[in-house]
């Protein structure tokens, strides 16, 4: 009887593990992370990982990052290591998530070539990120086919969800189009992944409330490894709105509403509570409070990051890449078989 009980327990545990839905996401190693990256993506990665409900895969999209400057090899190595350490310092844990590097898994780029053959040019031409990024200057082909590689990154692991900020929705939608096109030509292989957003899927720029905070516009960014003085300086000069009331109104007061959202997310105080606390006070007072909240929140992160060695970070990601490669290689074999390449 005891043996039967243990057997049943084993089966139940195996079922829970087996049935966990998979999530996958990545960031480009293209410079320092800002609070938009953190609140729209990285914080979510950590929370989803710690919920224990998902089989988690997070990676460094280094191949994507070579579609834009900087192109210096030393800088690239530094950016990759820095992102590895940011993931770990923010709380991603190799015991709970598979952490890996895109370029260490050739199956991603192989699948991306295959996906080129089912992707309509028209779909790629209407991607807003490509249009924005190719606006001022001659765009390279990698910038154009970027979403095809992104679809390969995603679909090769057959995840249920892809946690990102709102600006990536169009790319996730394209990965569903590519899955459908492939499945209808060669038979069902890929499930269609869904986006997964945080409560703050679009943090706006500090100096232009009509734009999202973006690494390509560093003046409007609050970086998560900025020191307390820098944070205070940037927030004190953040563009706010006419009037003086600390009140949430995303349409008429986008600047102060953005700061209220940031302060609320990083202090776990409801926006309404902050509004009450700052009733009758001025923008300056609220900005000082927001600066202290941001600086305090990221202090532990900054401390953990400085303690991580390059060697340790690299070791973790190499091990994770070996694990991820097994899954990616298996999907690629299945795909090649369907096409008739093997």
> Residue 171 and residue 153: Cα distance in Å, rounded?
12
Counting residues that bind ligand ADP (by CB under 6 A) gives 18
Rounded (5°) CA angle 64-69-71: 90
Catalytic residue list contains 133:
yes
Binding string to ligand ADP for residues 46 to 85, with x set by CB under 6 A, is what? ----------------------------------------
Rama region for 183: left / alpha / beta (φ>0; ψ in -120 to 50; rest): alpha
Query: What does 67 interact with, of ligand TRP, ligand ADP, none (CB < 5 to 8 A by kind)?
Result: none
Q: Which residues pair with 98 in a beta bridge?
A: 57
Binding string to ligand ADP for residues 29 to 48, with x set by CB under 6 A, is what? -------xx--xx-------
Note whether 42 binds ligand TRP by CB under 6 A. no
Tokens of 164: 């990102």
Helix or strand run (H / E) with residue 2: helix 2-19
Catalytic residue list contains 215:
yes
> Residue 242 and residue 233: Cα distance in Å, rounded?
20
Note whether 119 binds ligand TRP by CB under 6 A. no
**Contact, 165 vs 2, CB < 8 A?**
no
Note whether 324 binds ligand ADP by CB under 6 A. no
Nearest approach, Cβ of residue 2 and ligand TRP (Å): 46
Query: What does 83 interact with, of ligand ADP, ligand TRP, none (CB < 5 to 8 A by kind)?
Result: none
Q: Which residues are known catalytic residues?
A: 133, 212, 215
Please report, as ranges, the residues that interact with ligand ADP according to CB under 6 A.
27-28, 36-37, 40-41, 164-165, 167-168, 201-203, 212-216
């Amino acid at each position: 009887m005891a043996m039967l009980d243990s057997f049943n327990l084993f089966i139940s545990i195996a079922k829970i593990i087996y049935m966990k839905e998979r999530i996958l996401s990545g960031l480009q190693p293209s410079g320092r992370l800002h609070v938009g990256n953190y609140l729209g993506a990285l914080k979510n990665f950590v929370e989803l990982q710690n919920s224990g409900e998902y089989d988690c895969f997070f990676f460094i999209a280094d191949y994507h990052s070579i579609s834009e400057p900087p192109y210096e090899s030393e800088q690239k190595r530094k950016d990759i290591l820095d992102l590895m350490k940011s993931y770990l310092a923010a709380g991603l844990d190799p015991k709970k998530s598979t952490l890996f590097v895109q370029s260490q898994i050739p199956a991603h780029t192989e699948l991306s070539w295959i996906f080129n053959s089912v992707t309509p040019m028209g779909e790629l031409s209407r991607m807003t990120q490509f249009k924005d990024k190719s606006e001022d200057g001659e765009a390279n082909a990698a910038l154009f086919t970027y979403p095809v590689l992104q679809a390969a990154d995603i679909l090769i692991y057959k995840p249920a969800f892809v946690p990102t900020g709102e600006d990536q929705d169009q790319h996730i939608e394209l990965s569903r189009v590519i899955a459908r096109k492939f499945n209808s030509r060669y038979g069902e292989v890929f499930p269609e992944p869904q986006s997964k957003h945080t409560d703050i899927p679009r943090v706006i720029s500090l100096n232009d409330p009509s734009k999202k905070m973006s690494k390509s516009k560093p003046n409007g960014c609050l970086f998560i490894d900025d020191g307390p003085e820098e944070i205070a300086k940037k927030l004190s000069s953040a563009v706010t709105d006419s009037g003086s009331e600390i009140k949430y109104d995303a349409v008429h007061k986008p600047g102060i509403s953005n700061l209220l959202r940031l302060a609320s997310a990083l202090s776990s105080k409801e926006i309404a509570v902050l509004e009450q606390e700052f009733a009758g006070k001025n923008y300056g007072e609220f900005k000082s409070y927001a600066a202290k909240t941001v600086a305090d929140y990221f202090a532990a992160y900054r401390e953990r990051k400085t303690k991580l060695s390059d060697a340790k970070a690299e070791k973790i990601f190499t091990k994770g890449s070996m694990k991820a490669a097994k899954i990616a290689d298996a999907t690629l074999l299945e795909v090649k078989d369907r096409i008739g390449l093997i």
